[in-house]
């Protein structure tokens, strides 16, 4: 389960941001997880809830935003959000596409006191 190592890194980042902003407590952590990122949201939530104790994130709300796959078609130039995992352009049905969002996980925001 690589979610545990992801949370460890996330908590270290939160600690660093809190220290840089003279904050003692992080009250909210918002992340964006792409459906192709390989990160399991439920396991990430469990890992965060487990490891946040006795850190600046103890008691913090953890919000996960799910990012669908966004593609750009190299044939027609259209950007589209895929509703299914069918990797072709919904407009022209070309398979000459590039994934432009939905593959990564990002820390979007922190709220601190």
- Which amino acids are annotated as binding site, given as ranges? 2, 73, 76, 89, 92
- Which amino acids are annotated as binding site for Ni(2+), given as ranges? 2
Rounded CA separation 92/105 (Å): 29
For residue 98 the two structure tokens come to 């590039």
What stretch of H or E contains 51?
helix 41-51
Among residues 51, 55, 89, 52, the alpha carbon closest in space to that of 69 is found at 89
Q: Are 60 and 27 in contact (CB under 8 A)?
A: yes
- Which amino acids are annotated as binding site for Zn(2+), given as ranges? 73, 76, 89, 92
Q: Are 64 and 35 in contact (CB under 8 A)?
A: no
């Amino acid at each position: 389960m690589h979610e545990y190592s992801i949370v460890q890194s996330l908590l270290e980042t939160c600690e660093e941001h809190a220290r840089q902003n003279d904050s003692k407590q992080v009250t909210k952590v918002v992340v964006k997880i792409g459906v192709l990122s390989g990160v399991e949201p439920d396991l990430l939530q469990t890992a965060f809830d487990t490891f946040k104790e006795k850190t600046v994130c103890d008691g913090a709300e953890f919000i996960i935003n799910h990012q669908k796959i966004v593609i750009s078609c190299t044939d027609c130039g259209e950007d589209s959000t895929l509703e299914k995992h069918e990797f072709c352009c919904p407009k022209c049905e070309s398979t000459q596409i590039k994934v432009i969002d939905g593959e990564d996980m990002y820390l979007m925001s922190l709220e601190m006191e």
